[in-house]
Amino acid sequence: MKEEQMTFTVTDEDGKNVECEVLFTFESDETKKNYMVYTDNTTDEEGNTKVYASIYYPEEEGVRLDPIETDKEWKIIETILDELQDAAQKQNNGGQE
């Protein structure tokens, strides 16, 4: 089964259109908000893929993103990213730590 990639386009501060790929979305029971984690598939100086997160509104047409402004919300997202990274590393190691 092939998973369909979701993409959307944003306009950066220079007025250029940038295509972004949605990595995953989730709703937090704690904040009752929906979040989208996405990438523009660029890398930082160390070669790591840049990943972004925003509040999003799945019930609205189109993509509306709002900035995440609280440390609590960032902590929730960081925890999920850490868990996903740990799971991916375990899978890449054949289930061994």
pLDDT, residue 3, reads 54
Q: Choose among 43, 64, 42: nearest CA to 55.
A: 64
* In the predicted structure, residue 4 carries a pLDDT above the cut 80: no
21 with 3: CB under 8 angstroms? no
The number of domains in the chain is 1
Is residue 89 in some structural domain? Answer: no
* pTM beyond cutoff 0.75: yes
Is residue 82 in some structural domain? Answer: no
Write out pLDDT tens, residues 58-89.
Answer: 998 878 899 999 999 999 999 998 998 888 88
Task: Give the domain extent around 15.
Answer: 7-68
Is residue 17 in some structural domain? Answer: yes
